[in-house]
């Protein structure tokens, strides 16, 4: 099993903005790694505490991921941390090396994992 990480910043705390951003992030993670929903063990979502207008898991359901277990959580508040962020952890049941996984960071969230970009394992928009 492998973990695929992703994060994106949301423009405003609205249902549509959260769902649109999350769908785009999930589609990019899926595309970059050739993920098939039936190979997903589960997907975990977190939101910073300034985002509460929608559950990001709803975006996965809108993409047709009806049989994938999904769970949403709130991030801990850390002073000075980037705000309006949706984070995703896909647990992927595929026999690929972890170094082959492409993690996706969109918008201002790209600065969260500059180490992945330096190593050639990160993708941004």
pLDDT tens per residue, range 95-117: 899 889 999 999 888 777 766 65
Backbone angles phi, psi at 50, to 5 degrees: -90, 0
Catalytic residue among 2, 23, 24, 75: 75
The reply to whether 102 belongs to the active site is: no
The reply to whether 61 belongs to the active site is: yes
The reply to whether 113 belongs to the active site is: yes
In the chain, where the domains are located? 2-124
The reply to whether 121 belongs to the active site is: no
E-assigned strand segments in 1-125: 2-9, 40-47, 70-74, 85-92, 103-106, 122-124
Average pLDDT over residues 43-70: 97
The reply to whether 84 belongs to the active site is: no
Catalytic residue among 15, 16, 36, 61: 61
CATH homologous superfamily, domain 2-124:
RutC-like (3.30.1330.40)
The reply to whether 94 belongs to the active site is: no
Against a cut of 0.85, is the pTM above it?
Answer: yes
């Amino acid at each position: 099993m492998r973990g695929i990480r992703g994060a994106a910043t949301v423009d405003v705390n609205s249902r549509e903005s959260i769902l649109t951003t999350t769908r785009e992030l999930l589609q990019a993670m899926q595309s970059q790694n050739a993920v098939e929903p039936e190979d997903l063990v589960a997907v975990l979502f977190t939101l910073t505490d300034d985002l509460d207008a929608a559950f990001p898991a709803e975006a996965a359901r809108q993409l047709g991921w009806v049989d994938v277990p999904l769970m949403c959580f709130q991030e801990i508040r850390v002073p000075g941390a980037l705000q309006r962020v949706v984070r995703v952890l896909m647990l992927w049941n595929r026999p690929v090396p972890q170094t082959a996984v492409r993690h996706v960071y969109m918008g201002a969230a790209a600065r969260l994992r500059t180490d992945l970009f330096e190593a050639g394992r990160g993708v941004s928009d």
